Amino acid sequence: MSTQEWADLICHRKPDRSFYLNSHKFPICARCTGLVTGFLISLILELNLIILPLIVGFCCIPLIIDGGLQLLTDYESNNFKRFMTGLLFMLGYFSLIVRF
Protein backbone atom coordinates (compact mmCIF):
# COMPACT_ATOMS: atom_id res chain seq x y z
CA MET A 1 0.00 0.00 0.00
CA SER A 2 1.42 3.39 -0.97
CA THR A 3 1.88 6.35 1.35
CA GLN A 4 -0.96 8.11 -0.46
CA GLU A 5 -3.34 5.21 0.18
CA TRP A 6 -2.39 5.09 3.90
CA ALA A 7 -2.95 8.83 4.22
CA ASP A 8 -6.39 8.46 2.59
CA LEU A 9 -7.37 5.85 5.21
CA ILE A 10 -6.24 7.95 8.16
CA CYS A 11 -7.07 11.55 7.22
CA HIS A 12 -9.73 13.28 5.09
CA ARG A 13 -7.01 15.69 3.77
CA LYS A 14 -9.48 18.44 2.85
CA PRO A 15 -7.65 21.38 1.26
CA ASP A 16 -9.49 23.99 3.36
CA ARG A 17 -8.48 22.17 6.55
CA SER A 18 -4.80 21.77 5.67
CA PHE A 19 -1.73 23.92 6.09
CA TYR A 20 0.20 25.23 3.12
CA LEU A 21 3.90 25.98 2.90
CA ASN A 22 5.01 27.98 -0.15
CA SER A 23 1.74 27.05 -1.90
CA HIS A 24 2.35 23.32 -1.27
CA LYS A 25 -0.42 21.57 0.70
CA PHE A 26 0.61 19.41 3.65
CA PRO A 27 -0.16 15.72 3.04
CA ILE A 28 -2.51 15.61 6.06
CA CYS A 29 -5.01 18.05 7.61
CA ALA A 30 -4.21 20.53 10.38
CA ARG A 31 -5.60 18.32 13.17
CA CYS A 32 -3.62 15.28 11.99
CA THR A 33 -0.53 17.48 11.70
CA GLY A 34 -1.10 18.40 15.37
CA LEU A 35 -1.50 14.74 16.30
CA VAL A 36 1.76 13.78 14.60
CA THR A 37 3.58 16.75 16.15
CA GLY A 38 2.13 15.90 19.56
CA PHE A 39 3.30 12.30 19.19
CA LEU A 40 6.85 13.39 18.37
CA ILE A 41 6.92 15.86 21.27
CA SER A 42 5.47 13.20 23.58
CA LEU A 43 8.30 10.83 22.74
CA ILE A 44 10.84 13.44 23.80
CA LEU A 45 8.93 14.51 26.92
CA GLU A 46 8.17 10.98 28.09
CA LEU A 47 11.78 9.95 27.72
CA ASN A 48 12.64 12.79 30.07
CA LEU A 49 9.51 12.26 32.27
CA ILE A 50 8.50 15.92 32.06
CA ILE A 51 4.71 15.59 31.60
CA LEU A 52 2.79 15.73 34.87
CA PRO A 53 0.34 12.84 35.33
CA LEU A 54 -2.39 15.12 36.74
CA ILE A 55 -2.79 17.23 33.61
CA VAL A 56 -2.53 14.61 30.88
CA GLY A 57 -6.19 13.60 30.94
CA PHE A 58 -7.28 17.21 30.59
CA CYS A 59 -5.23 17.57 27.41
CA CYS A 60 -7.71 15.33 25.58
CA ILE A 61 -10.78 17.44 26.38
CA PRO A 62 -10.24 20.36 23.93
CA LEU A 63 -10.20 18.05 20.88
CA ILE A 64 -13.32 16.25 22.03
CA ILE A 65 -15.14 19.56 22.52
CA ASP A 66 -13.90 21.16 19.27
CA GLY A 67 -14.50 18.07 17.14
CA GLY A 68 -17.84 17.36 18.79
CA LEU A 69 -19.09 20.89 18.23
CA GLN A 70 -18.12 20.70 14.55
CA LEU A 71 -19.87 17.37 14.20
CA LEU A 72 -23.08 18.32 15.99
CA THR A 73 -23.49 22.03 15.13
CA ASP A 74 -22.75 24.57 12.40
CA TYR A 75 -19.61 25.65 14.29
CA GLU A 76 -16.52 25.72 12.07
CA SER A 77 -13.12 25.62 13.76
CA ASN A 78 -9.99 27.10 12.21
CA ASN A 79 -6.74 25.35 11.34
CA PHE A 80 -4.85 26.80 14.30
CA LYS A 81 -7.45 25.41 16.74
CA ARG A 82 -7.44 22.07 14.93
CA PHE A 83 -3.64 21.88 15.14
CA MET A 84 -3.54 22.86 18.82
CA THR A 85 -6.33 20.48 19.88
CA GLY A 86 -4.65 17.65 17.96
CA LEU A 87 -1.30 18.41 19.58
CA LEU A 88 -2.77 18.60 23.10
CA PHE A 89 -4.80 15.44 22.57
CA MET A 90 -1.77 13.42 21.53
CA LEU A 91 0.32 14.75 24.42
CA GLY A 92 -2.35 13.58 26.84
CA TYR A 93 -3.24 10.35 25.08
CA PHE A 94 0.36 9.21 24.63
CA SER A 95 1.16 10.00 28.25
CA LEU A 96 -1.89 8.05 29.47
CA ILE A 97 -0.94 5.07 27.30
CA VAL A 98 2.63 5.08 28.63
CA ARG A 99 1.45 5.25 32.24
CA PHE A 100 -1.16 2.50 31.95
Residue of 43, 35, 37 whose CA lies nearest to 62: 35
State the pTM of this model. Answer: 0.76
Phi and psi torsions of 64, nearest 5°: -60, -45
pLDDT of residue 72: 94
pLDDT tens by residue, 27-79 = 888 888 898 898 888 888 776 666 566 677 788 899 999 999 999 999 999 98
**Collapsing DSSP states into helix, strand and coil, what is residue 80?**
helix
Q: How many residues does the chain have?
A: 100
> What residue spans of the chain are helical by DSSP H?
3-10, 30-47, 53-56, 61-72, 79-99
Assess contact for 46 and 60: CB atoms under 8 A: no
Amino acid at position 39, single letter: F
